[in-house]
């Protein structure tokens, strides 16, 4: 039997056991794909990342990202959490204020910025993939959507924005809801939601309201991803990046004089893991450049046997 060290980092939180946990295995050695999947399943949290040698010369390191049921081609919080862990472990040299690194996931290389003060990492951010607006859900299908979420379809209609499938690495069905109370009371019917997302080509559903728990935040969000084996996710970088691009496209947020939009997305309170995802959108570019970031806290360290 072999063993490997793991570290859990809680992404989009400034304290342990908030945010979205990712288990990082910095040195998986010769662990096979099947063994990685078995480890990810055994961890029982949403996602586990394995640091492997890059095949692209531009990358500092490469990641393989797993949910309990499958390998995924991109995960924003795994990317941020793993960069944080490797920097904390001394495997990334920090510059004075910001350190730029490149991380390979699959065939793509993603940029990550580590923000630091006095050698301490204060924030981690990355550029999201450009948003692709795939399709709208016709209002005639709102009843099936509402039934899958256990709400009145009028809560979606009254929100005044379309239900739309947006892809930024993950294909996310974005569902506007009229009130935060309704978002907080959502009770997804697992198989119905899974079937709906499968029919649309979606991997997760993000429901949001413009009402928030904290006055300084902009949207209250919940994300469900049954096709990925995740009933509910406490913080989802890729999905919130898609939400920011969606809100800008539909005129629900406006850029300042410099063409920049900031969006503070609260998520995870319903799961007891409050999270804050900080989004910055540069509306001067086409497509708009979306940067996703937040704080990270280290919470658990140990050894896994496989």
Q: Please report the DSSP string for 26-71 in residue order.
A: S--TT--HHHHHHHHHHH-SSEEEEEE--SSTT-SEEEEEE-SS-E
Question: Do the bridges between strand 98-105 and strand 71-72 make them parallel or antiparallel, or are there none, so unpaired?
Answer: unpaired
pLDDT tens-digit series, residues 274-302:
999 999 999 888 888 899 999 999 999 99
Per-residue pLDDT of 79-125, as tens digits, reads 999 999 999 999 998 887 999 999 999 888 999 999 998 888 999 99
Q: Enter the DSSP assignment of 208.
A: E
Residue 138 DSSP symbol: P
Q: Which CATH number fits domain 3-124+295-305: 3.40.50.720, 3.40.640.10, 3.40.50.300, 3.10.310.10?
A: 3.10.310.10
Q: What is the pTM of this model?
A: 0.88
Q: Is pLDDT larger for residue 73 or for residue 188? A: 188
E strand map for 149-295: 164-168, 170-176, 204-209, 219-225, 230-233, 260-267, 275-282, 289-294
Which of 9, 12, 10 lies closest to 237, judged by CA? Answer: 12
Residue 19 contacts residue 297 (beta carbons within 8 Å) = yes
- Considering the chain, what percentage of its residues have pLDDT values greater than 90? 79
CB within 8 Å of 140: residues ≥ 6 apart: none
Q: What is the residue extent of each domain of the chain?
A: 3-124+295-305, 132-286
Q: For 16-46, how does the pLDDT look when each residue is reduced to its tens digit (9 = 90+)? A: 999 999 999 999 999 999 999 999 999 877 7
Whole-number Å distance between alpha carbons of 126 and 175: 24
Number of Cβ within 10 Å of residue 33's Cβ equals 11
pLDDT score of 188 more than 90: yes
Q: What is the pLDDT of residues 125-177, one digit of tens each?
A: 999 888 999 999 998 899 999 999 999 999 999 999 999 999 987 899 999 99
Which of 2, 29, 30, 24 is CA-nearest to residue 11? 24
Tell me what pLDDT residue 120 has: 87
Establish whether domains 3-124+295-305 and 132-286 are of one fold. yes
Q: How far apart are CA 5 and CA 50, in angstroms?
A: 11
Q: Out of 3.10.310.10, 3.50.30.30, 3.30.470.30, 3.40.640.10, select the CATH number for domain 132-286.
A: 3.10.310.10
């Amino acid at each position: 039997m072999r063993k490997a060290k793991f570290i859990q980092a809680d992404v989009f939180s400034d304290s342990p056991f908030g945010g979205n946990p990712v288990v990082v295995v910095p040195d998986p050695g010769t662990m096979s794909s099947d063994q990685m999947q078995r480890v990810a399943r055994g961890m029982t949290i949403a996602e586990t990342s394995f640091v492997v040698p890059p095949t692209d010369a531009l990358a500092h390191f490469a990641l393989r990202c797993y949910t309990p049921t499958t390998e995924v081609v991109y995960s924003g919080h795994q990317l941020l959490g793993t960069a944080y862990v490797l920097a904390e472990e001394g495997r990334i040299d920090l510059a004075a204020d910001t350190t730029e690194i490149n991380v390979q996931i699959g065939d793509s290389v993603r940029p990550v910025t580590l923000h630091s003060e006095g050698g301490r990492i204060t924030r981690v951010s990355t550029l999201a993939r450009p948003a692709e607006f795939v399709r709208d859900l016709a209002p005639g299908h709102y009843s099936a959507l509402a039934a899958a979420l256990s709400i009145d379809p009028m809560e979606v209609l009254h929100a005044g924005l379309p239900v739309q499938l947006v892809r930024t690495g993950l294909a996310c069905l974005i569902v506007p809801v009229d009130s935060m109370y309704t978002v907080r009371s959502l009770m997804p019917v697992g198989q119905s939601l899974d079937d709906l997302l499968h029919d649309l080509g979606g991997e997760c559903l993000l429901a949001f309201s413009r009402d928030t728990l904290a006055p300084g935040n902009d949207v209250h969000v919940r994300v469900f991803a049954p096709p990925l084996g995740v009933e509910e996710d406490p913080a989802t970088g890729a999905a919130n990046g898609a939400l920011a691009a969606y809100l800008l496209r539909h005129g629900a947020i406006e850029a300042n004089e410099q063409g920049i939009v900031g969006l503070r997305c609260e998520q995870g309170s319903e799961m007891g893991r409050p999270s804050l995802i900080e989004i910055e959108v540069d509306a001067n570019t086409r497509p708009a450049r979306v940067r996703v970031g937040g704080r990270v806290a280290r919470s658990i360290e140990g050894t896994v046997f496989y």
